[in-house]
Amino acid sequence: MTVRRMPISGLLALLVTCSLFTSKVSASQILEIKNQQFSPMKLTLPQNKKVKITLKNNDNLPAEFESTDLSREILVPGHSQVSIYVGPLDPGNYKFFNDFNQAATGLITVPSSAGAN
């Protein structure tokens, strides 16, 4: 088996790209799962901005954050957390739910910004 090494210039380019990606995130939100329910059940996010959502599962059971509106699906093991990035989003409402407990639902609302183009 041949081991390939990345040249320093490639590593630097990768680091710069990663830092540019993370620097474009304009906001972050925390969404907790307690007693198999989302808290808060409604998030308000800014229009046309990339947002990091940290999903914290406080339960013993795993949860699966899923949103067909956002095209996102991610497993959140019990007593752990994961992060997802959404956006930029247009104004509107985006539903999400726990695929392992579909009674647990929530809503992301993106209001219109005054003077937005």
Q: Is residue 101 part of a domain?
A: yes
Q: Is residue 60 part of a domain?
A: yes
Q: Is residue 90 part of a domain?
A: yes
pLDDT digits (tens, 9 = 90+) for 74-102: 999 999 999 999 999 999 999 999 999 99
Q: Is residue 6 part of a domain?
A: no
- The model carries a pTM of 0.75
Take residue 22 and report the two structure tokens written for it: 């993370």
Q: Is residue 86 part of a domain?
A: yes
Q: Determine the pLDDT at residue 26.
A: 79
Give the residue numbers spanning the domain of 70: 25-110
Min mean pLDDT across 2-6, 46-50, 104-108 is at 2-6
**Count of structural domains within the chain:** 1
Q: Is residue 67 part of a domain?
A: yes
Rounded to whole angstroms, the Cα distance separating 114 from 94 reads: 20
Q: Is residue 8 part of a domain?
A: no
Q: Determine the pLDDT at residue 25.
A: 72
Q: Is residue 13 part of a domain?
A: no
Identify the CATH number of the domain in which residue 103 sits.
2.60.40.420
Q: How confident is the model at residue 113 (pLDDT cuts 50, 70, 90)?
A: confident
Q: Is the pLDDT of residue 57 over 80?
A: yes
CB burial readout 52-83, b (16+ within 10 A) else e: bbebbbebeeebebbbeebeeeeebeeeeeee
